[in-house]
Structure 1
């Protein structure tokens, strides 16, 4: 096999994956699936390629001759779709998030272990140029022993909320608890260091007028204070605060590696600051700063999120082809996600520390095998959690109606 035959589920977030598969040396696009038929027909007209087949049925899509499926559907639905694809003998690249519940995590792990197919998690923030450079320097020993880190993913989605929720009060984004969408901020720190989380304390920022205007039921942002297996601590913050921030900082026994804050210089988030000593106990005031370039930088920069969308696809295809690849497997994907899940349980338990299970071990999987607790009523009404720790706020139906009208006025032109 010279190219991986790719099928993409989801024409919204999946557009970047579709473009990669059309242009790549190691992949080709053979099928696209989406439940929104007008959008699918528009894409078919745009791509104008008779070698691509289009589906509105996921089951029919899975029967198409292909090697791998990209899951770019709703963030709360990735695990069930991944399990169906793996059971059909297809490799899977899953967009954020990997699962919604612990029961899904167990079933997904055991399906991957049984089928021995490639599963990769598309946490694209792990492949931003500055994060890739931090990982290279850390693995080279420049930082020394990892001691502390911080990650931020602040994205004020209010200006685009109508576009991404359609004014639907049941949309998953409206039902997120504060610490749910956590892997953009936690993921890079764990991918850089390769360390596993062992416990977490969670915090939730209060429900505010911004959330009320958006029709969102959870707190405005979530914070996780995570202890890692070597005793180091990382702080993660993510959510809908007023100004955007993508930022990572890691401290080791020989100094600090840090990305530029989003507001430091306009569009300067790809800049790294290196402030390290030549060896422990030998102090230096030297600071280097530069914009690192990845090996496929020119190709990658045409894709979204600082070129990182290119690398999730590139490494996934390389892995399937049996070549060296930097993919995120299911175990590390869950290392990135479980701190957010358990942080919310910490919040509901008055911010008490909670241990994070190591789901690599069957004995620990057995303890949570039937744990369906989440904020999604469609999953398990008996184990449903509130979206906000103080109880779900009431949102006026007029809020959702206004968002729906805003969406329709923009997209029906």
Structure 2
């Protein structure tokens, strides 16, 4: 007897297109509903798939008969949407970022625990062929115990690309602090080592008054950030993320028996593994550089974006729904890596003072943070506001705003209809 299909709806057709395409193509999964405020674009996209219902209102979307919801909506609204979906009886997969505030993190944990629904954080960088291979080496004991790791996610853009990605004045990409988008750097280090951060110290490369991507757009946050994390096994991790001028995704793991890293230059789908001569086996080379295959579903994963990670986040979510077993990237792990960014920004604002990262399994820790609504979002109440930049409030002239809005209307007319 065939398994009942998992019926999935997708909220947001920007980044959500990938999730919709994966769901529609995956065995045992049925794409049944899509929700977006941009009605024409949504209907044009949905026309590719038979039997898909479209909605412009999230409340009505959640009334649809489906098992799971993928949240690819506005990034700083993921947590409230996730809580509402789980209370409506849906399993949830959430894109970056998981939460905007520490209070949202507490509310999200409590919603998962109260409803019993699957929640998965869609950190796709954990599932590239390179990171999965380093995880295999680590779990087999070839690298020893985790001592130090580095993760980098550096993503510069042109002025026009910046405007296309964040086409309104207060779009989240224009004010999100440089530490907040940290899980592409943090996630793979946690995934490989199965350690978690317990203390963070944040540093931010200031807003660049000589960079047109800053000065000709509404951007009011800093250029990049460096985060130092003390992990629960005593090891350390260093994260770099932001808009420095060298596009790069890169990871390195040091164990006490060897090291492994993705390649900075050349083939980004290959890794380098090194052991010292006195640590390796007799027939084992000191250094190996090779391109690993995915441990499973190679042909399917290799056709998807983000190094194959886009396939595996959907696959792992569906597997969790079918088995009832929480995925590795459950609510606790997702929040552990996400809140690194929130607390590292506070550290950067507070002369780089270290901040403890709570355990979201601990009810006492949840109580401590349940009323912490501090936020850099300009839409939030002034009494809860913190600066988006270590330089304080970045002022923009009326001329900059006028030129930006004119160009945004040209590049993204769908946002001004």
TM-score when normalising by structure 2 = 0.93
SS at match of 2:7: strand
Q: CA deviation at 1:181?
A: 0.7
Matched residue, 1:157: 157
Matched residue, 2:79: 79
**CA shift in 2, pair 1:89/1:324, >3 Å:** closer
**CA shift in 2, pair 1:354/1:411, >3 Å:** closer
Matches of 1:158 and 1:200, distance apart in 2: 31
Matched residue, 1:12: 14
Q: CA deviation at 1:408?
A: 3.1
**Is contact 2:197–2:336 with CA below 8 Å preserved after alignment?**
yes
CA-to-partner distance for each residue in 1:105-160, whole Å, 9 max, x for gaps?
Answer: 00100110111110000001111111111111111111101100000000003351
Structure 2 unaligned runs (5+)? none
**1:228 maps to which of 217, 226, 231:** 231
Matched residue, 1:42: 44
CA-to-partner distance for each residue in 1:198-254, whole Å, 9 max, x for gaps?
Answer: 111110001103222332111100110000011101000000111201100010101
Q: CA deviation at 1:276?
A: 2.5
Matches of 2:72 and 2:331, distance apart in 1: 17
Q: CA deviation at 1:178?
A: 1.5
Matched residue, 2:274: 275
**Is contact 2:170–2:218 with CA below 8 Å preserved after alignment?**
no
Matches of 2:39 and 2:279, distance apart in 1: 60
Matched residue, 1:119: 119
Q: CA deviation at 1:289?
A: 1.2
Matches of 1:279 and 1:60, distance apart in 2: 64
Q: CA deviation at 1:282?
A: 7.7
**Is contact 2:280–2:286 with CA below 8 Å preserved after alignment?**
no
CA-to-partner distance for each residue in 1:380-406, whole Å, 9 max, x for gaps?
Answer: 331111111221111233334434433
Q: CA deviation at 1:285?
A: 6.0
Say whether 1:392 aligns with 2:393: yes
TM-score when normalising by structure 1 = 0.94
SS at match of 1:77: helix
**Is contact 2:69–2:93 with CA below 8 Å preserved after alignment?**
yes
Matched residue, 1:317: 318
Matches of 1:140 and 1:398, distance apart in 2: 59
Matches of 1:332 and 1:183, distance apart in 2: 11
Matched residue, 1:21: 23
CA-to-partner distance for each residue in 1:295-340, whole Å, 9 max, x for gaps?
Answer: 1121112221111111100110111011778540011111111111
**CA shift in 2, pair 1:113/1:373, >3 Å:** same
CA-to-partner distance for each residue in 1:169-202, whole Å, 9 max, x for gaps?
Answer: 1111111112111110011101111111111111
Matches of 1:118 and 1:179, distance apart in 2: 27
Q: CA deviation at 1:63?
A: 0.2
Q: Which moved more, 1:332-341 or 1:364-373?
A: 332-341
Matches of 2:367 and 2:332, distance apart in 1: 16
Matched residue, 1:345: 346
- Within-5 A mapping of 1:49-68: 49=50, 51-68=51-68
- Within-5 A mapping of 1:4-403: 4-45=6-47, 47-49=48-50, 51-159=51-159, 160-166=161-167, 168-208=168-208, 209-210=210-211, 211-261=214-264, 264-265=265-266, 268-277=267-276, 280=279, 286-294=286-294, 295-322=296-323, 326-403=327-404
